[in-house]
Chain A
Amino acid sequence: MQRKRLTSENLKRWVDALIASERRVIAPVHEAGLTVFRPIQSSDEIAPNYTKSDLPFKEWLFPPTEVILCYRIEDGEPVLEDPEVDSTETVALFLRPCDAAAISILDKVFGGDYEDEFYLTRRRRLTIVGLSCTEPQPECFCTSVGLSPTSEQGSDVLLTRIGNDFLVEALTEKGEQLLNESADLFVDAGDLTKEQVTAEAVAKMRRPEPLPNFSDTYAEIFEHPVWEEVARKCLGCGVCAYSCPTCHCYDIVDEATLFEGVRCRNWDCCAFALFTLHASGHNPRPTQAHRYRQRVLHKFAYFLQTYGQNMCVGCGRCIIKCPVGMDIYEIVQRVGEQLAKV
């Protein structure tokens, strides 16, 4: 695979060339005091000094709400229609390695036993240009979940800033193709490597301890009082799940008037009491302790069992966004300590 060098000026040219190529280019921009991923018309719109977006990229693959079925009554007969799925050829720019890795996790879910055509239609037309992290934030803990500030998982192309230039690595066929289209902007990488940048970024990580894996042991702590201790503070909102790049649970609702309607798929969150409430009134997860346990064990036990990987990329958004400062890194460590005592 290609390894190239790109100057900062040529990076701008490359972005503008991508926009000119009639692709939709989605990049981090500042909007209403937030950093979010939005389609851009020019490289100038990209958020300067961008560290990490407030909301992850997932909304472009798995939107907060999406119509999955339309129906209407016509001349007394029901008519079903499939909605059109957005299939615009898209380039996602400057996803941090944690966010790119998160997409590879979503791929496992939506492209697994059941192939979700809505997600996959968009995903097939998406090329991801990752951007290595050089300034990990206080909440970051990617190295604790098996990733690194420069990890390649999920990216088609990975950019790493080295001095004033970027090391550009094509990691997939899609990535190769993207670079080939603008070959004149890149020069050979020569002996440029990201080893030093990686080492420096890793050294800045403030939370280096690996997080425990509960996939074989969770039964031993399933009923442990630690869940209630850690979850007492949790208010049961959905900020953590909705700002999480890997959370993918959804609810399905019908919205209809007398003669027509749609079936929508909306984000949902295991912290809500309604998430598991049965029609009978029984709730198998009756308290926030049960719900928070689900959140932790889904990410650090069940997903590992099924897919061999954590369902957490260590971006830390849930930590900075939580209104009461729930810290999943500390909580998972604490549960691990309790497990060691069992």
Chain B
Amino acid sequence: MAKEVKERNWEPKIVAFVCNWCTYVGADAAGTSRMQYAPNVRIIRFPCTGRIDPLFIIRAFQQGVDGVIVSGCHPGDCHYVSGNLLARRRWIVFRKFMDFIGLDLRRLHFAWVSATEGAKWAKLVNEIVEEVRSAGPAPAWAFPTNGATVLETSLPEVGLPPSPPVEMTAQIREIAKRLLGTGEVGVVVGYEMATGAREGEATPTFVNKPEDADRLVFNERCVHNLAVYLTNPLVKKFGKVGIVAKGCDIRSIVGLIQENQIKREDVSIIGVVCNGVVVNGKLAEKCVNCQVKVPHLYDHLVGDPSWAQSPSGENPLDAQIADLESLSPEERWNFWMPQFARCIRCYACRAVCPLCYCQPCIAEKHRPQWIPTSPHPHGNLAWNIIRAWHLAGRCIGCGECARACPVNIRLDLLNRKLALEVERAFGYRPGFDPSAPTPLSTYRPDDKEDFIR
């Protein structure tokens, strides 16, 4: 009975994140001008839209709001010159991303409202309240117990990549011996063949004496992105690092240089020509249309560039993304929630990622606890969304997170979706230009969008 009354009397609960200088004053102007508008909005004031972290939006939905408004100064009017322009870039990508997760976009709104636009604010709130009302009460952030959406598109059968010529292994050993012998590097991070239970697989190894260099190998089993070790304190203590890197791994190294995590001169890149690696017994998805089979940044080149095959077809993940996008938001939500339900918060996705270098990670910040550490719906949703989001425009698609995930969450699809949106909006692909700014740390005054009111 009480529940029925509650449902009948349901009113949309909306949170507005607004900037101090424009929209807050605009909303105030609406009030002092005695304009009447829907009372469903609670305003939270920020110094600038640039301070409105998408995590706040996630938190608001987790706390049970039905809709969110984000609003600030018009482009050109920012009190801090460019905060709103930086924010705009984030919104362009984040909105698409939340749509991909399955958030009904009738619940998420962005606007420019200046200090004098009290009337615009009142009209905006009225419109948005009706839109949120039409979407109904927000679904609980809980894991559905049945009815998981299954993707119709499966990943294509791609067979195995060709084995790299054995001379490449000899070349790597030769280079490592020379680098270690002359003292140019303190350690070479490369691959060796595993023994024991994982015989037949390659595994990361660290060679710090020339006589040990004969352990090093290169073949199609060398899946790991070794760039993750460039920020590892136990590796850094050797001084300059030599690293065996495939094209994809080199893109991560470019990211680390771009973000000032390593200096170009502190790493000696032994770039290897690569025609793909084996994950789960077949060619890895990322290798199908790889554009960097021949390394694009290196100090030593291993292998013959003419051996590299030309890239073919599309990224196989794109078909699955298109499949998901053809579904309703609710169906997408029911695809992702069961995925996230499996997460046990082992953070293997974070540990293997060369670009997840933050110390501490946002998931470890607990004053306040932005991301609940518990593997329950709120915690897992926030973690998986924010992990992917923090890699927007930075992830080079090495796929290590998805490979490392012990419970098969499709982290590769999340990362790929963000990469597609960043490329579509800003024409940017990460991992090529060490001197370029990352796309979400910069802006253009004429960045295009069609959803900010």
Contact = CB atoms under 8 A, between A and B. Distances in A.
A243 interface: yes
Nearest to A233: B204
Interface stretch (B9-17, B129-137, B297-305, B403-411): B403-411
A34 B375 contact: no
Contacts, number: 130
A32 B342 contact: yes
Given A138-B199, A255-B374, A266-B373, A323 B404 contact: yes
Contacts of B376: 65, 264
Interface of A: 32-34, 54-55, 64-65, 138-139, 206-207, 228, 231-233, 235-239, 241-243, 251, 253, 255, 257, 264, 266-267, 269, 272-274, 287-289, 316, 319-321, 323-325, 327, 329-330
Given A272-B347, A323-B348, A207 B400 contact: no
Interface stretch (B20-28, B44-52, B228-236): B228-236
B34 interface: no
A288 B203 contact: no
Nearest to B197: A139
Given A65-B376, A233-B203, A236-B351, A288 B234 contact: yes
Contact of A316 (B195, B197, B201, B233): B197
B198 A289 contact: no
A228 B351 contact: no
Contacts of B260: none
A217 B230 CA distance: 35
B197 A323 contact: no
13 contacts: A32-B407, A138-B199, A139-B198, A207-B196, A232-B232, A237-B348, A237-B350, A264-B376, A266-B374, A267-B375, A320-B197, A323-B400, A329-B197
Nearest to A325: B203
Contacts of A267: 344-345, 375
Nearest to A138: B197
A269 B232 CA distance: 19
A237 B373 contact: no
A32 B406 contact: no
Contacts of A206: 196-197
Contacts of B198: 138-139, 319-320, 325, 327
Contacts of B201: 325
B360 interface: yes
Contacts of A238: 344-348
B373 A253 contact: yes
Nearest to A32: B408
Interface in B177-197: 194-197
A237 B374 contact: no
B197 A319 contact: yes
A239 B404 contact: yes
B90 interface: no
A316 B196 CA distance: 11
Contacts of B339: 32
A91 B348 CA distance: 32
A311 to B, nearest CB: 19
A169 B218 CA distance: 51
Contact of A237 (B203, B224, B352, B372): B352
B441 interface: no
Interface size class of B (residues with CB under 8 A): 35 or more
Contacts of A139: 197-198
Interface in B326-379: 338-339, 342, 344-348, 350-352, 359-360, 364, 366, 369, 372-376, 379
B196 A231 contact: no
Given A237-B350, A238-B345, A239-B406, A255 B369 contact: yes
Contacts of B194: 325, 327
A64 B375 CA distance: 7
A266 B196 contact: no
Given A255-B374, A266-B374, A320-B198, A242 B346 contact: yes
Contacts of B342: 32, 34
Nearest to A238: B346
A299 to B, nearest CB: 17
Nearest to B206: A232
Contacts of B345: 64, 238, 242, 266-267
B406 A327 contact: no
B375 A65 contact: yes
A327 B364 CA distance: 28
A329 B374 CA distance: 31
A269 to B, nearest CB: 7
Contacts of B204: 233, 324-325
A238 B352 CA distance: 12
Nearest to A323: B404
Contact of A235 (B196, B228, B408): B228
With a 10 A CB-CB cut-off, give which of B234, B344, B369, B406 has the most chain A CB atoms. B406
Q: Which 6 A-B pairs have the closest CB atoms?
A: A237-B351, A323-B404, A238-B346, A139-B197, A235-B351, A325-B203
Contacts of A138: 196-199
Contacts of B197: 138-139, 206-207, 316, 319-320, 327, 329
A242 B234 contact: no
A259 B423 CA distance: 45
A228 B234 contact: yes
B1 to A, nearest CB: 22
B334 to A, nearest CB: 14
A321 B234 contact: no
Most chain B CB within a 10 A radius of its CB, from A55, A251, A255: A255
A327 B196 contact: yes
Contacts of A324: 203-204, 224, 352
A11 B192 CA distance: 46
A299 B398 CA distance: 34
Contacts of A269: 346
B121 to A, nearest CB: 28
A33 B406 contact: no
B374 A253 contact: yes
Contacts of B403: 323
Contacts of A64: 344-345, 375
Interface in B392-441: 400, 403-404, 406-408
A329 B196 contact: yes
Given A64-B375, A232-B206, A274-B360, 10 more contacts: A64-B344, A65-B376, A232-B234, A237-B346, A242-B344, A288-B232, A319-B197, A323-B352, A323-B403, A324-B224
